[in-house]
Amino acid sequence: MHVEVTSGGIDQAACQKFPLVLPALKSHNSEPMNHNPDDLIMLFNDLFRETHRTVLVKGSDEPEYLPASEPDGLARVVFAHGFFASALHEIAHWCLAGAHRRTLHDYGYWYCPDGRTPEQQQAFESVEIKPQAIEWLFSLAAGSRFHISVDNLAGNGAANDQAFRANVRKQAKHYLEHGLPERAQAFFETLKDFYKTSARFMQSWNLDQVRIAPAGMETDQTRTSEIL
């Protein structure tokens, strides 16, 4: 359906013609924002379907990455339960994965499930710093609330919660100062444009740092980087 939009907003004649559809259309600069995962699917697929032969897909259970099964096929980034935050997190992982890893199911990683030992949890946290930093910036760009996650509810929680939070903050700050990975930067800019958050982004970032990782938290110098 084509809807005529004038400089003053939605065409009123069209609004009368389609009364059940058009009132639901709202500016993404209005409050509260409507964080519909279908918008993320649209934005991601517009950016990467043709250039990287990859699409974002709603899943019903666990998230996963499925490489293309045939030469002309599409790889799929599957996020859990249609959750907006899950989509941003899985996109962040995809934006970090190198070309070879994107040919492998779940990028070739073995996932250690909830209920990890302290050693397993420490290893998990070390490779989650970069994707959660990117997810955080994506969330701010979309005007949505970011929740840091150690993903170990059945175990003993975080190996070092304060250090993990500080390291995620430090990594996000580094990305803001030096740029995100290429695909992440493209999606980040697209989110800011779509949700109209560019003008207030740095203010939101400064406020959110206090919520997620207040200044003074010590970073863990033993952390390792995710292998791409």
Q: What is the pLDDT of residues 24-75, one digit of tens each?
A: 323 333 346 789 999 999 999 999 999 999 999 999 888 999 999 998 999 9
Indicate the domain borders of the chain. Answer: 37-108, 118-212
Name the one residue in this structure whose structure tokens are 């250090």. 163
Strand order in the sheet with 54-58: 54-58, 75-79, 64-66
> How far from chain centre, in Å, is Cα 98?
17
* Residue 226, pLDDT above cutoff 50: no
Residue 177: how many CB atoms within 10 A of its CB? 7
Q: What are phi and psi of 79, to 5 degrees?
A: -110, 160
| 102-153 pLDDT per residue, tens | 999 999 986 655 566 666 767 777 788 999 999 999 999 999 999 988 653 3
Which pLDDT belongs to residue 228?
A: 53
Position 19 pLDDT exceeds 70: no
Q: What is the mean pLDDT of residues 156-164?
A: 69
SS3 sequence, 25-54?
A: CCCCCCCCCCCCHHHHHHHHHHHHHHHHCE
Give the β-pairing of 54-58 and 75-79.
parallel
